[in-house]
């Protein structure tokens, strides 16, 4: 299998062999930053187009078709429009926190995005506590949302922020417990090691029923964390006009918009990394010929294929189910998903003791 680690190692060795240590590190940091921001923006624009197309497909429409082939340039046109929009200044709000909120949301999203292993050697950070890092840094987005709702000095934004805070904090618990279930199975929190351990079989198969339960709970809780239907109570248009970002405009609104779509991708990417083998191909023990054929598919394609499959499932759910009430939403977490997650951790511990 070809891995991007060959390219990244060559760039690292070339820079360190031809210039001072500090200059090589500075260039690497700049290159990594540019690549992350570019991939982040391109993925967000593609996901916006993809959702509009899938939404149209579910509703027997065509979706964007006029700007570019198959409407591919429609997202770029929308981005240019947002960048040219005036940023409206409010009179009776906390201006510093109002501006800070959008940056906190986008920074939390980018920092989480940087920890995802797209291929062997193709990730920005690879901490030995990678799962813990993902849970910790992603929770910063809640702070940005709460600040946005409070600093806007509007009852609609405040209600939206309170709903979002309650929802995200609640469903983060089930997300964390689902990931901890796989940590028990793998014995490590390092994402690269979790992927490597799935070379002989993905955890959703090797972990048996506990892994399957954890995967389903993670998809439900992760979908709720992205504030998307049927869990879109913080942005309920019929009740709160637009929720916590009602008063935002221009590029500040664009930050919230980008973060929302990339968070959907991040949730799907973590699911594919932890449960579906990440960039590892599909292998069946004993089927050497089949496994060799699977190895011809580039690892990056495996990763994005699994991730976009999870994205499609999220979009399918969004356009198939009506919005829940806030009491139903919280009851689902605290009375259904949370008890099952705790019981599933115990079940996984027993599975590891018996079969490993």
Task: Report residue 322's pLDDT band, with 50, 70 and 90 as the boundaries.
Answer: confident
- What pLDDT sits at residue 170? 87
Interior angle at CA 248, CA 247 and CA 254, nearest 5: 155
The mean pLDDT value for 257-282 works out to: 90
Residues 145-159 pLDDT 10s: 888 888 888 888 888
DSSP characters for 218-274? HHHHHHHHTT-TTS-GGG-HHHHTTGGGTT--HHHHHHHHHHHHHHHHHHHHHHHHH
- What pLDDT sits at residue 219? 92
Residues 18-56 pLDDT 10s: 888 888 888 888 888 898 888 888 998 899 999 899 989
The C-alpha atoms of residue 35 and residue 229 are separated, in whole angstroms, by 31
Task: Report residue 344's pLDDT band, with 50, 70 and 90 as the boundaries.
Answer: very high
- Count, in order, helices (H) and strands (E) of the chain: 16, 0
The 10 Å Cβ neighbour count of residue 312 is 14
Instruction: Return the SS3 of 40.
Output: helix
Task: Report residue 337's pLDDT band, with 50, 70 and 90 as the boundaries.
Answer: very high
- What pLDDT sits at residue 275? 93
Beta carbons of 222 and 267 less than 8 angstroms apart:
yes
The C-alpha atoms of residue 332 and residue 342 are separated, in whole angstroms, by 15
The C-alpha atoms of residue 135 and residue 108 are separated, in whole angstroms, by 11
The C-alpha atoms of residue 178 and residue 348 are separated, in whole angstroms, by 10
The C-alpha atoms of residue 342 and residue 283 are separated, in whole angstroms, by 31
Residues 104-119 pLDDT 10s: 888 888 889 888 988 8
Task: Report residue 180's pLDDT band, with 50, 70 and 90 as the boundaries.
Answer: very high
Beta carbons of 207 and 180 less than 8 angstroms apart:
no
Long-range CB contacts (< 8 A, 24+ apart) of 349-352? 349/184, 351/185, 351/207, 351/208, 351/209, 351/210, 352/184, 352/185
The radius of gyration of the chain from alpha carbons, rounded to an integer in Å, stands at 21
């Amino acid at each position: 299998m070809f891995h991007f680690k060959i390219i990244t190692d060559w760039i690292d060795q070339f820079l360190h062999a031809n210039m001072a240590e500090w200059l090589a590190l500075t260039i690497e940091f700049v290159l990594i930053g540019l690549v992350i921001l570019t991939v982040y923006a391109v993925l967000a624009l593609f996901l916006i187009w993809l959702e509009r197309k899938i939404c149209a497909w579910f509703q027997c429409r065509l979706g964007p078709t006029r700007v570019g082939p198959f409407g591919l340039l429609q997202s770029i046109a929308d981005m240019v429009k947002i960048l040219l929009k005036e940023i409206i200044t409010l009179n009776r709000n906390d201006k510093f926190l109002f501006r800070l909120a959008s940056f906190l949301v986008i920074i939390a999203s980018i920092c989480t995005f940087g920890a995802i292993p797209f291929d062997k050697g193709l990730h920005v950070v690879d901490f030995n506590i990678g799962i813990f890092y993902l849970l910790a840094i992603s929770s910063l987005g809640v702070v940005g949302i709460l600040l946005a709702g409070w600093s806007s000095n509007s009852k609609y934004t405040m209600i939206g922020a309170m709903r979002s805070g309650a929802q995200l904090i609640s469903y983060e618990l089930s997300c964390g417990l689902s990931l901890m279930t796989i940590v028990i199975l793998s014995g490590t929190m390092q994402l690269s090691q979790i992927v490597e351990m799935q070379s002989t079989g993905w955890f959703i198969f090797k972990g048996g029923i506990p892994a399957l339960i954890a995967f389903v709970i993670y998809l439900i809780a992760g979908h709720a964390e992205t504030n998307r239907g049927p869990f879109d109570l913080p942005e309920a248009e019929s009740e709160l006009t637009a929720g916590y970002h009602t008063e935002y405009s221009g590029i500040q609104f664009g930050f919230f918009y980008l973060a929302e779509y990339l968070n959907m991708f991040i949730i799907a990417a973590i699911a594919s990394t932890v449960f579906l083998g990440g960039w590892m191909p599909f292998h069946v023990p004993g089927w050497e010929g089949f496994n060799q054929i699977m190895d011809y598919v580039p690892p990056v394609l495996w990763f994005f294929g699994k991730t976009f499959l999870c994205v499609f499932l999220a979009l399918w759910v969004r356009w198939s189910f009506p919005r829940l009430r806030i009491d139903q939403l919280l009851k689902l977490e605290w009375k259904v998903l949370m008890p099952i997650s705790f019981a599933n951790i115990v079940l996984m511990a027993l599975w590891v003791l018996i079969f490993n």
